[in-house]
Amino acid sequence: MTQNDIQSAKLSNGEPLQVHTHLFINNTFVPGHGPLFENINPVNEQVICKVQSANEQDVDAAVEAATKAFKKVWRKEAAAQRGRYLYKLADLMERDKIELAKLEVLDSGKPFMVARDADVADSIACFRYFAGWADKIQGDIINSTYDKTCCTVLSPLGVVGAICPWNYTIMMPTWKLAPALAAGNTVVLKTSEVTPLAMLKVAALMVEAGFPAGVVNIITGEGHVTGSYLSSHPGIQKLAFTGSTHTGRHIMEKAVKSNIKKVQLQLSGKSSQIVCADADLQNAAVQVCVGAFINNGQSCCAGSRILVQEEVLDEFMALFMHQVSMVYAGDPFEDNVALGPLINKAQFEKVLRYIESGVEEGATLVQGGQRQGDTGYFIEPTVFCNCTLNMRIMREEIFGPVAGIMSFKTLDEAIEMANDTDYGLAGGVYTTNLETAINVSESLEAGTVWVNCYEVFDQSTPFGGFKHSGFGKDLGLESLREYSNLKTVKIQRTSWAKAPALPKNKL
C-alpha cells in the first residue's frame, strides 16, 4: 500500500470506515495520473473521500502487468490451483461480508440488507461456483476419420478488459472476474468512478488470498477517457462491458478499430411483466413490485412495463398498490427500508424529467412522482396507469423507481406489446396455466423470462440479452466459453497412414 491510499470515511449512520482510494496494479495500490474524483454519498450528498483515477499511462501499466502475469504465471498455473485461489477469495469475502456490504451502501446508498444478503452473498457464491469449474473446462474428442485423431481444446484468451457499472458495485465485476479467471485469463477491470470502493477492498483480499501479481488489476476513471482507451487497447484480447446501449456501440467501434478484440455486451433493457387473468394475483402483485422497484429501479432488467389482462386490472391494481405502499425509501441501515436513493444528482434529475414527461404525454400519475425528503437523491416509488406504448416512460430505460401499467385483451396482444421495443433483456409472465407459461416464454424476445417470479438469479444459469440489449452471456457454463478460444487439433496417426501424394501437375 502506498502512503495516503487508505482514508477514513463515515457511513450515513456516522460509523467510521476505512477505504482504499488508489488504483490496484500488479498487486499494489498506486496513485493514478488522472484527475481526482470526489466520491459522493447519495444518501446525504456528502463527500465520502477523493479517489484516484487512471489515465492512458495507468491503463498501459495495468495491461502490461496483466500480460506479464498471463504469460509467465497464470496460463501455466494448474487449473485446480486457479480454483483454489478463487475459493480462498470467496472465504475471505465471507469473513468480511459485513464490511463489503457497508462499502457498497456507502458508495451506492442501497439498503444494507440488500447489499449483504443479495449482492455480496451472490458474489461469494459466484466465485465459489466458478472455482469448481476451473479444472473441468475441457473440449471434445471427434471421430472424424480412421487415420486421424481430432480434438477440440478450450484455451484462455489472454488479457481481458472489463468495464462495470455503478448499480451493482461488487456483483457485476464478479460476474466478469470469476469466469475469466477460472478460464485462465488475467484481467484489467475498470469500476465506475462513482462506486469504486467495494472492489478496491476485494483487491486487498486478493492479495491476502495469494493471487500472483498482475493477475487482477483494478482501475477507475471516466468512461470517455479510461474506458475508451481500455476498449481500444491492443493488449486487450476481449472487452466485457455492462452498461448502456449508447456506450456499448462506442465500445464495439473501438474494439473493431483496434485489434478486432472479442466483445461481450450486457446493455440496456425495457422489460415487460405480463399478468394473465388466471394468475395468482396476490403473488403477481408482490413479484411485479419487486421486478419494478428492485435496486430502486436501477436495474437493467427492471420490469417497469406492467401489462395486465383487462378483466383483472382493477383487482390487480388494488393488490399491487398495496404492495407499493409498503415500499419504503430512507436510511439504508433501517430494517424496513427497501429503496435507497438514486446514485447521483444527474440520475436524480433525469428520472424526475421522465416523470414530468409521463404526465405531459397523458399518463395518469397514481402514486409518487416527487422527491422524498430534503437531503439525498430520493424519489418516491412512482406508478403510472393509462399508459400507451408510444410514451417515453414505456419505451426508454428510465433507471429509477418508475413503472407504467397498460391493459391487454388477448395473450397475442400482450406478446406483441411486450416485444414492441428495441430491447430484449428480460421479461416476466404470471399465470397458473402451464401451456400459457410455455407459449409466452417461447414468444417473448428476451434473453431471460421469469414465470411467476422476477429478478431471480443463479450462478449456473446464463444471463444476457437480445436485440439492443447486447450479446454474450454472464454466468453458467456458457460464460466460461465466452472467455475461451476454441481450438481444433488434428493428429495424423502416421504408423499406418500414408500422406497423400501431390498431383504431378501441381509440383
The whole-number pLDDT of residue 96 equals 98
Chain segment 77-88, per-residue pLDDT in tens: 999 999 999 999
Q: Is residue 277 part of a domain?
A: yes
Question: Does residue 235 share a domain with residue 91?
Answer: yes
Question: Does residue 149 share a domain with residue 55?
Answer: yes
- Into how many domains does the chain fold? 2
CATH code at 279?
A: 3.40.309.10
Q: Is residue 146 part of a domain?
A: yes
399 vs 266: CA distance, rounded Å: 15
Helix (H, G, I), strand (E, B) or coil at 380: coil
The mean pLDDT of 282-293, rounded to a whole number, is 98
Domain that holds residue 151: 6-267+469-489
Question: Does residue 432 share a domain with residue 300?
Answer: yes
Whether 173 contacts 206, CB under 8 Å: no
Chain-wide mean pLDDT for the chain? 95
Q: Is residue 463 part of a domain?
A: no
The mean pLDDT of 431-436, rounded to a whole number, is 98
Chain segment 454-482, per-residue pLDDT in tens: 999 999 999 999 999 999 999 999 999 99
* Helix axes of 281-293 and 313-325: crossing angle, nearest 10 degrees: 50
The whole-number pLDDT of residue 147 equals 83
The mean pLDDT of 499-506, rounded to a whole number, is 60
Residue 292 has φ and ψ, to the nearest 5°, of: -80, -35
Task: Give the pLDDT band of residue 146 (cuts 50, 70, 90).
Answer: confident
Task: Give the pLDDT band of residue 420 (cuts 50, 70, 90).
Answer: very high
The whole-number pLDDT of residue 507 equals 46
Per-residue cell: 493: 496417426
Whether 129 contacts 105, CB under 8 Å: no
The whole-number pLDDT of residue 500 equals 59
The mean pLDDT of 93-117, rounded to a whole number, is 96
pLDDT of 501 above 80: no
CA angle 474/475/480 to nearest 5° reads 85
The whole-number pLDDT of residue 14 equals 86
Q: Is residue 38 part of a domain?
A: yes
Q: Is residue 390 part of a domain?
A: yes
Helix (H, G, I), strand (E, B) or coil at 113: helix
Question: Does residue 58 share a domain with residue 190?
Answer: yes
Question: Does residue 241 share a domain with residue 106?
Answer: yes
pLDDT of 496 above 80: no
pLDDT of 3 above 60: no
For 283, how many CA atoms within 13 A lie in the half-sphere containing its CB?
14
Helix (H, G, I), strand (E, B) or coil at 388: coil
Which of 238, 267, 263, 265 minimizes the C-alpha distance to 160?
238
466 vs 445: CA distance, rounded Å: 7
The mean pLDDT of 104-125, rounded to a whole number, is 96
Q: What percent of the chain has pLDDT over 90?
A: 92
* Helix axes of 79-95 and 97-108: crossing angle, nearest 10 degrees: 70
DSSP letters spanning 373-410: SSSSS-B--EEEES--TTSHHHHS---SSEEEEEEESS
Per-residue cell: 228: 475508451
pLDDT of 502 above 80: no
Residue found under cell 406483441: 416
For 162, how many CA atoms within 13 A lie in the half-sphere containing its CB?
30
Per-residue cell: 425: 433483456
Which of 44, 49, 53, 50 minimizes the C-alpha distance to 24?
53
The β-bridge partners of 489 are 151
Q: Is residue 502 part of a domain?
A: no
> How many other β-carbons are positioned within 10 Å of the β-carbon of residue 269?
29
Question: Does residue 474 share a domain with residue 344?
Answer: no
Query: Which range among 145-159, 200-214, 254-268, 489-503 shows the weakest confidence by mean pLDDT?
Result: 489-503
Q: Distances in Å between the alpha carbon of 225 and those of 50, 222, 251, 322, 337? A: 18, 5, 12, 46, 36
Question: Does residue 335 share a domain with residue 241?
Answer: no
166 vs 123: CA distance, rounded Å: 15
Whether 220 contacts 165, CB under 8 Å: no
pTM, 2 dp = 0.94
How far separated are the first and last CA of the chain, in Å rounded?
Answer: 66
Question: Does residue 276 share a domain with residue 262?
Answer: no
Question: Does residue 210 share a domain with residue 156?
Answer: yes
Which of 68, 78, 72, 79 minimizes the C-alpha distance to 182?
79
pLDDT of 234 above 50: yes
Question: Does residue 326 share a domain with residue 296?
Answer: yes
Q: What percent of the chain has pLDDT over 70?
A: 97
Most distant pair of Cα atoms in the chain: their distance: 89
Question: Does residue 296 share a domain with residue 251?
Answer: no
CATH code at 136?
A: 3.40.605.10
Chain segment 11-61, per-residue pLDDT in tens: 988 899 999 999 999 999 999 999 999 999 999 999 999 999 999 999 999
Question: Does residue 359 share a domain with residue 228?
Answer: no
125 vs 137: CA distance, rounded Å: 19
Task: Provide the 8-state DSSP code for 198.
Answer: H
